[in-house]
Structure 1
């Protein structure tokens, strides 16, 4: 494997055996080297394969702009997660998460923090990823001597959710289809209401539906029932619960899936929120 271009001491541009352009990361891999030198494969830590030439330039720009401490930290942590859990992660997470942490810590040092308005949904729908997020947050704070809030664990969790290899290429379409089916039921049920689609409550509901659809497609809907709370919410928000029952019937009839009490609980609360904040 030959060096085509030296990006910095730890990153070089090369070609794989099939002639595809790749970016190779390794401690000192480009130090005191020149173009067409042979790469010492024993120091290779990670290989990034761009989709095309445009993507290669963007990838090079990202990788060279992210401080090496962040890249190394994310690489070590993600590799440990791959070895510890039965989840497949694509290489996009090394860049996206490193870039995210770079911006987050920069804002923190400038006294700027961002609340994670989806934290409750993430904790409930992505329990494993949130657990990973909490663990990484603890290590991150210790490593970089910061004190990022719990909101950050949710943001980290979403990176692990988004980087998981999909079973099929049509997931995006399928997710959108299920979300639209549910929203059609809600809009027909509340035909006298004009929903504010730009509102936080509406956006949170859509996000909840996307997460639900994604986990339904991958058969990862493992909830813990709380019958007492479900009974309280069902009796308190009877109209919203009536709408959820129609969603239940649709999912059962079309997908042979019966919503759990917990999922019905969260759907009821979300629907109650968007109807309270919308225009009659």
Structure 2
């Protein structure tokens, strides 16, 4: 049950979904078994029957959202709400109320695919694993909850899809764009290193995880416009003389980041990238 609040019904979609206006005049969707039974426009929502209130990002689309939710079985909507509560506890979602429709809709179609034996290729699985471990953990918890409640085990990669929903709720539009850029840049950097060295890198290795950890902090610094601590000049000189190929690769990585963020990386930052590239390739058995 949701906390008591003044919600005025605008449209009854079915017994379990109604469109309403909240005290701030926003269009919201209210779900719950029987919440629409015997109800009509202009009366208050019976909050004893209401289980969740969905507040769309664009409240002008609330009626369309209500129509979508009306097509989803109540048990799945309730499960989506439970998944959001767990994800909020694990990741501190800032605006879980904006995610009820996307999560319920994704859940509904994922269950249908699983029951039909349809498998889809989900992108960014590896990148999300390294960049957003908390959100991915929440996605895996979602899969466990689905199996427990509905008896359907979704493919493991579906945890990534849920994680991306959780990530999207954490950031504003501008920062979400950066997040997409981050995942794409990460994939591109590994592609560049593999192409330039002719070495197949194990992206699941500890060396790759360390490299990604460094890049993740670098991404944050670039997004915030902060510079790296000055690297000793001797370090850069030593790398240039002993492993010039690594320094060249570090500049290739820096070029990817330049293009992504529109910021020129300093010599110091490129030196740090070179150190991590050297370690990554050494662990991968690539000679210089």
Shorter-chain TM-score category?
A: 0.5 to 0.7
1:201 match:
none
Alignment of 1:40-55 (within 5 A): 40-50=46-56, 51-53=58-60, 55=61
Residue 102 in structure 1 maps to residue 108 in structure 2: yes
Q: Which runs of 5+ in 2 are unaligned?
A: 1-6, 197-211, 226-242, 282-288
| Structure 2 counterparts to residues 51-200 of structure 1, below 5 A | 51-53=58-60, 55-166=61-172, 170-171=174-175
Aligned residues between the structures: 229
Please tell me whether the aligned partners of residues 251 and 258 of structure 1 are also in contact (alpha carbons under 8 angstroms). no
Alpha-carbon RMSD across the aligned residues, in angstroms, is 4.5
User: Which of the residues 243, 255, 266 maps onto 1:253?
Assistant: 266
After superposition, the Cα gap between the structure-2 partners of 1:75 and 1:114, relative to the gap in structure 1 and judged at 3 Å, is same
Q: Which runs of 5+ in 1 are unaligned?
A: 194-207, 220-234, 269-280
Match of 1:244 in 2: 253
Q: TM-score, normalised by structure 1?
A: 0.63
Distance 1:147 1:120 in 2: 21
TM-score of the superposition, structure 2-length normalised?
0.62
Task: Look at both structures and tell me which one has the larger radius of gyration over its CA atoms.
Answer: 2
Judge conservation of contact 1:2–1:39 (CA < 8 Å) in 2.
yes
Partner residue, 2:236:
none
Provide the rounded CA distance (Å) in 1 between the counterparts of 2:154 and 2:147.
7
Distance 1:90 1:260, change over 3 A: farther
